[in-house]
A and B are shown apart, each in its own frame.
Chain A
Amino acid sequence: MRPFVYEQPTDISTAVAIASRFATDDDQPTRANAQFIAGGTNLADYMKLGVAEPNHLLDLNQLKEAALRQIQVTDGGIRFGALVRMGEAADHAEVNRRYPVIADSLRLAASGQIRNMASLAGNVLQRTRCEYFRETSWQCNKRVPGSGCAAMDGFNRQHAVLGVSDACIATYHGDFAQALIALDAVVHAEGGHGARKIPFAKLHRQPRDTPHVETDLAAEEIITAIEVPAIPWARRSLYLKIRDRESYAFALASAAVALDLDGETVREARIALGGVATVPWRAGAAEEALQGKKLDEASAGAAADAAFAGAHPRQHNAFKIELGKRTLVRALLETRDMKV
């Protein structure tokens, strides 16, 4: 393991200031000399593996701003402090009552131990677990820009079929982000240019020809909160995660669904898909396909077809298209049948 400097800034502006000192214009945040760490469940792992090589580690756990650790329920919705742990949010009564899809997405992620450590902001920013990214002896455009992609024609069963490019097919594995993008969440960030709000859907960037550029954040920017608007009908929502084993595995396919129903007719649908895309994936075409329709197996199937219309499979992951569709159909029908 490489030596590094470890610092514990005690307020957000200091953290931003320290990070700014190491940020250079041409370096992307994932490759910046200074990295933020909160739960450490992803970054520490990648530092041990030589995938991440920061010289400075800024531990955010001592930041004194209380709101960072709070879940605030307001008329406008719910606001998650960035340092709230996944486990806390998953167990929060109002989160469970108002947004079952959020609670499900957290509860079905990782393991109990990891959920107790991992922060919500860190979870959202987790990096791909692509096997070829994780191990430095392989070619990887995300890890070493321009070096090639070993996954493209390699063992790519876990890889994405949506939002892919010729440079990268690595899956975004997070679950929580699917709930957030479906519910039109907003990210609050503070950086060298002050505070700003970023629609969650704009936070992550598709790989295109720069897969190492993963988010809209600047190197010194810190997520301070995630805000989810009030959506009364989001009580009819769930997160369905399909995987090889019952727990502690990434989704092969998942669906975050919230439905506003008039009887069996869809007033509005919110759909996001996990395990199948390079970034958190809002399935707008599927939502539109359902609007004003009676929700049944046929209309759900048509929506699923629309969701995967632009899918690009590789050798080992073609099944994800069929699985992703079935996952969405099942999630839609189960959401329709929820007692709320």
Chain B
Amino acid sequence: MDAAAPRPKENQGEPLPRVDARLKVTGQAHYPADLPTANLAYGALATSRIAKGRVTKLRLDDARAVPGLLDIVTYGDMDKVDKPKFGNSGATSIGPLHDRTIFHDGQIIALAVAETFEAAEEAAQLIRAEYEEEKPTASFDSPGTKTVAAAGKSPMFKEDVKAGDFDAAFAAAAVKIDQRYSTPTQHHNPIELFSTTAYWQGDQLVVHEPSQNVTGWKVELARQLKMDPANVRIVSPFIGGAFGSKGPMTPRTAIVAVAAKRLGRPVRCVTSRMQAFGTQTYRAETRHRIRIGAGKDGRITAFAHEGWEVTSRPDLYVVGGTSATGRMYGYGSVLTHVSLVQADRNTPGYMRSPPETPYVYALENAMDEMAVALGMDPVEFRRINEPKTEPIGKKPFSSRSLIQCYDQAAAAFGWAKRDPKVGAMRDGDWLVGMGCATAIYPSAVAPCAARVRLTSDGEVRVQCGSHEIGTGIRTVAGQMASERLGVAIDKISVEMGDSGLPPAPVSGGSISTASVCSAVLKACDAIRSKLFAAATAEGSPLAGSHNEEFDLADGKIVAKSGASAKVEDVMKIMQVGAIEEYAEFAPKGATPEALKKLYAGTPEFHGGEQDEDSVKYAFGAEFVEVRINRYTREIRVPRIVGAFAAGRIMNTRTARSQLMGGMIWGIGQALHEATEVDRRYARYVNRDLQDYLVPVNADIKDLQVILVPEVDHAVNPAGVKGLGELGNVGTAAAVASAVYHATGKRIRDLPIRIEQLLA
């Protein structure tokens, strides 16, 4: 075992290598834009250079003169198609070619289609628009914003949580803080670019596109194109990074489908990285005001969290992280309020831990400030405020191992060696700072279907319309089947990423492992039941042992007594060559329509704070060391340790990899990532990876992930809490705390950069 493959502890699965690892590292994994397609035509987008106004005229002559140009899809050409809908399957309600109104910078104004990629690009660049320009509203503080209360604007954010009498408790508190924090605009920038390839086979439409939600897209695209969803197929076998950006479908998909229909041949459109900033979703900038009041003993008596989030004019996208921050600690009283601030921007969308990343950053930075105000160790401050029940609904936690995470991470990090005095730790010309923060993510689960087939030869095929976004879901689904059917992983194939497969929910909200594994488990158990029944029937090898417990191992049905029968032989008796089971998993508390909604692409989420019996969260603790040069103030992170507890860990290798990636992202959020908005024009400025900085290998030195054992039978049948979005929560606050410890400067606005530390 090495660092990449941690030895499994209690309730943790084997660190099997990814089943598709070889395909990926040898270039044999076909991402959607790589799938071989005959007779392709290529599309390129033309986008607006203004953020608000109208397109009065499009001059297409130069573009049409490009040799090899086949078609230009623009205003008027989408009139027979319905406009997109904003929601889980749709990124925005803006139908960019339905209406000459420009709602945001980089809005699609045309699609040029040509015989070659190069000709399409050239033609798109030659499309000239004339505009009737209006002065756009860029962001917070710009003239013309409209602010509305967020509660009730999204099914995911029903109310502003509260408990007790905050005002009275805060007024009476012996120690208090009242501070403001902010997070910047961020774009996902997955390395795999966004693309759509569409072709028609008669009335049937096939779309190859990286997607985290093939079922939802099938239904939404069929609605837009006024088709039967049965005639639409979305294919997305591998996804080269998504982070939420490939969750909702964007208007481009229908436009490319229409282009393919007009031409009668396949059309592929790969969006440039620059264009992705305006045509896809993003994490909008947020602002926070946090008030915390506590007694001198460190017990929090009052907590208020107000949040403001930017969204577009047409769509009210809400992240609303107060639902988690309001339940984080044993506050005496809680007051929260979330507001949406509408500006002339594209509609934001899900980005890895959408609510928790900004909101927990603000909370945890405030918690560190409060610990300083109290003169307490920040770990002890959290220990003192560890709750027995969550403060809003007074429900128990299904499991909560936060303190174990803190203790294990603190020990590995060497927190005890930290001199708590600000600016006291140095190494030559480098100021040393150490900080910590809590990670939290709701443990949700959704209905899911899966089909599993076991052949008499001992081969297994698992089929599920979930999505391999890099998390290792194919591998862990295979591991679940391997475990339940007693078949080695190399005899198991797992098919995903196709809307023709049994439907799975959107791969978002860290629900996939729990939901998919629960469905696979159910299908496998149905196969087991059939085999066990047949094996114990009259005249069968294990006849008469009805009351025994059985298991499957190495191609055999094994009774507890030790008696066994070969699966192959039992299938002969059954006169079958294979057993195939189609299972539909519905979580506890699912409504009667839950499965119907899954097929309709609008799955219910359960768990988190929504269940009656308990609230369900995964927790972690992250410790960071920063070094800041005493002259030039650049900030480096030589060490980071995170300890996480997330119920059953299906595979310690893929789990560690997810958490490590999250922590690295968290460092980027703390120090690097920001999309800059030119406030005069409401336009994005740094639309490429040259100027949109993320950490590079040289920035990441000593990184340690600790998987803290935890058993939770209440979360879902698989006992799994999602952890894909846990690792990057809290990291930025831990960095901010470490920067404060090193310099005495409390930076409340991300990212933390040299200029904030020079003064």
What CA separation (Å) do A135 and B683 show in the bound complex?
Answer: 12
Verify B686–A243 contact, CB threshold 8 A: no
Verify A247–B758 contact, CB threshold 8 A: no
Known: A131-B686, A323-B754, A323-B755. A154 touches B680 (CB 8 A): yes
Within 8 A of A (CB), among B551-588: none
Is B153 interfacial (CB-CB < 8 Å)?
A: no
What CA separation (Å) do A331 and B338 show in the bound complex?
Answer: 48
Is A264 interfacial (CB-CB < 8 Å)?
A: no
Is B61 interfacial (CB-CB < 8 Å)?
A: no
Known: A244-B753, A327-B632. A158 touches B691 (CB 8 A): yes
**CB of A192, distance to nearest CB on chain B (Å):** 32
What CA separation (Å) do A330 and B405 show in the bound complex?
Answer: 40
Contact of B121 among A1, A129, A136, A154 (CB under 8 A): A1
Verify A247–B676 contact, CB threshold 8 A: no
Verify B753–A155 contact, CB threshold 8 A: no
**Complex contacts, A132 vs chain B, CB 8 Å:** 685
Is A248 interfacial (CB-CB < 8 Å)?
A: yes
Verify A322–B758 contact, CB threshold 8 A: yes
Verify A245–B691 contact, CB threshold 8 A: no
**Complex contacts, B755 vs chain A, CB 8 Å:** 319, 323
Verify B49–A244 contact, CB threshold 8 A: no
Verify B690–A50 contact, CB threshold 8 A: no
The interface bits of chain A over 153-166 (1 if a CB of B lies within 8 angstroms of the residue's CB, else 0) are: 11101100000000
The interface bits of chain B over 614-652 (1 if a CB of A lies within 8 angstroms of the residue's CB, else 0) are: 000000000000000101111010000000000000000
Is A246 interfacial (CB-CB < 8 Å)?
A: yes
**Complex contacts, B685 vs chain A, CB 8 Å:** 131-132, 154-155
* A-binding segment of B352-360, B500-508, B695-703: B695-703
Known: A1-B121, A245-B695, A330-B629. A252 touches B687 (CB 8 A): no
**Complex contacts, A330 vs chain B, CB 8 Å:** 429, 629, 631-632
Within 8 A of A (CB), among B674-722: 676-678, 680, 685-688, 690-691, 693, 695-699
Is A329 interfacial (CB-CB < 8 Å)?
A: yes
Is A249 interfacial (CB-CB < 8 Å)?
A: yes
What CA separation (Å) do A132 and B684 show in the bound complex?
Answer: 11
Known: A131-B686, A135-B274, A158-B691. A243 touches B678 (CB 8 A): no
Q: Which partner residue on chain A sits nearest B701 by CB separation?
A: A246
Verify A252–B754 contact, CB threshold 8 A: yes
**CB of B34, distance to nearest CB on chain A (Å):** 20
Contact of A246 among B631, B680, B686, B699 (CB under 8 A): B699
Is B315 interfacial (CB-CB < 8 Å)?
A: no
Is B122 interfacial (CB-CB < 8 Å)?
A: yes
Within 8 A of B (CB), among A310-340: 319, 322-323, 326-327, 329-330
Contact of A50 among B125, B676, B677 (CB under 8 A): B125
The interface bits of chain A over 117-134 (1 if a CB of B lies within 8 angstroms of the residue's CB, else 0) are: 000000000000101101
Is B671 interfacial (CB-CB < 8 Å)?
A: yes
Verify A155–B676 contact, CB threshold 8 A: yes
Q: Which partner residue on chain B sits nearest A136 by CB separation?
A: B125
Within 8 A of A (CB), among B513-554: none
**Complex contacts, A153 vs chain B, CB 8 Å:** 680
Interface residue tally on A, bucketed by range: 35 or more
Is A58 interfacial (CB-CB < 8 Å)?
A: no
**Complex contacts, A329 vs chain B, CB 8 Å:** 631
Verify A246–B632 contact, CB threshold 8 A: no
Verify A129–B687 contact, CB threshold 8 A: no
What CA separation (Å) do A150 and B672 show in the bound complex?
Answer: 24
What CA separation (Å) do A31 and B755 show in the bound complex?
Answer: 36
**CB of B628, distance to nearest CB on chain A (Å):** 12
**Complex contacts, B699 vs chain A, CB 8 Å:** 245-247
Is B118 interfacial (CB-CB < 8 Å)?
A: yes
**Complex contacts, B636 vs chain A, CB 8 Å:** 246
Verify B631–A247 contact, CB threshold 8 A: no
**CB of A169, distance to nearest CB on chain B (Å):** 14
Verify A244–B671 contact, CB threshold 8 A: yes
Verify B696–A248 contact, CB threshold 8 A: yes
Is A15 interfacial (CB-CB < 8 Å)?
A: no
What CA separation (Å) do A326 and B429 show in the bound complex?
Answer: 13
**CB of A154, distance to nearest CB on chain B (Å):** 5
Verify B678–A154 contact, CB threshold 8 A: yes
Within 8 A of B (CB), among A133-187: 134-137, 150, 153-155, 157-158
Is A257 interfacial (CB-CB < 8 Å)?
A: no
What CA separation (Å) do A134 and B687 show in the bound complex?
Answer: 10
Verify B754–A249 contact, CB threshold 8 A: no
What CA separation (Å) do A243 and B429 show in the bound complex?
Answer: 17
Verify B687–A245 contact, CB threshold 8 A: no
What CA separation (Å) do A266 and B451 show in the bound complex?
Answer: 79
Verify A242–B634 contact, CB threshold 8 A: yes
**CB of B554, distance to nearest CB on chain A (Å):** 48
**CB of B122, distance to nearest CB on chain A (Å):** 6
Within 8 A of A (CB), among B10-68: 49
Q: Which partner residue on chain A sits nearest B121 by CB separation?
A: A1
What CA separation (Å) do A252 and B690 show in the bound complex?
Answer: 13
What CA separation (Å) do A131 and B690 show in the bound complex?
Answer: 9
Q: Which of A134, A154, A155 has the most CB of B within 10 A?
A: A155
Verify B633–A1 contact, CB threshold 8 A: no
Known: A154-B680, A244-B672, A319-B754. A249 touches B632 (CB 8 A): no
**Complex contacts, A150 vs chain B, CB 8 Å:** 678
Contact of B690 among A129, A154, A246, A327 (CB under 8 A): A129
Give 27 pairs: A residue, B residue, CB < 8 Å, sorted on A: A1-B118, A1-B121, A3-B122, A129-B690, A131-B687, A131-B691, A153-B680, A155-B685, A158-B691, A242-B632, A242-B754, A245-B693, A245-B698, A246-B696, A247-B696, A247-B698, A248-B698, A249-B693, A253-B632, A319-B754, A319-B758, A326-B632, A327-B631, A327-B632, A329-B631, A330-B631, A330-B632
- Given contact pairs A155-B678, A319-B755, a sample of 6 additional A-B residue pairs in the complex whose CB atoms are under 8 Å apart: A135-B274, A155-B677, A155-B685, A158-B691, A245-B698, A330-B631
Across the A-B interface, the 9 shortest Cβ-Cβ residue pairs:
A319-B755, A137-B49, A246-B698, A247-B698, A330-B631, A1-B118, A155-B676, A155-B685, A326-B631
Measured CB to CB, the residues of A under 8 A from B are 1-3, 48, 50, 129, 131-132, 134-137, 150, 153-155, 157-158, 242-249, 252-253, 319, 322-323, 326-327, 329-330
